[in-house]
Amino acid sequence: MMTTLTSDTTRVGLGYDSHRLVKGKPLVLGGVEIPFAKGEAGHSDGDALLHAIIDSLLGAAHLGDIGQMFPPSCDKWKDSKSLDLLKIAWQKVISYGWTLVNMNCIVRLEKPALLPHKDKIIRSIASALNTDEKRISVSAKTAEGLGDVGRGDAVEALAACLIASSPNTAT
């Protein structure tokens, strides 16, 4: 059985995800659809950024990972919106008495530029976590032509978070 330690004051979490980019799929990052010729192949909508965020939160709370909570083999989660998965995962973390201090994310994507969409992505993540936008940071990096990301064949995301025991529910 999964357990978590609310006797700790704070805990750090780290998440990572990558998806292939293919033609004919929408590019969804942080719950925001970004106009582009390619999008993420994968389970659900393939939102690599939200998948990394989910793993960072579950990891911080010692509640397993996204694959355990939403098994790809389970039809229930097929074609799920990752924003909905994030809300479910975050409710689970909250139920153990945690609150979010901050979330810091990196997206590795050659094209398109994410800067014009960054504010909307931050708003979307903050809304799903029911938290202030100032607690969410997102950086975008290109791979300068190197590797799968550099060729435009993949998107990668990393997320680090800090969670704190809620003063109302900590034990």
Stretch of 13-21, 30-38, 101-109, 120-128 lying at the interface with Mg ion (CB under 5 A): 13-21
> Does position 55 bind Mg ion by CB under 5 A?
no
- Which amino acid is located at 98 in the chain? W
> Does position 51 bind Mg ion by CB under 5 A?
yes
Residue nearest to Mg ion (CB): 51
- Quick one: 51 or 92, whose CB is closer to Mg ion? 51
Considering CB under 5 A, how many residues would be counted as binding Mg ion? 2
- Quick one: 51 or 117, whose CB is closer to Mg ion? 51
Closest distance to Mg ion from the beta carbon of 48 (Å)? 6
> Does position 108 bind Mg ion by CB under 5 A?
no
Query: Could you list the residues that contact Mg ion (CB under 5 A)?
Result: 17, 51
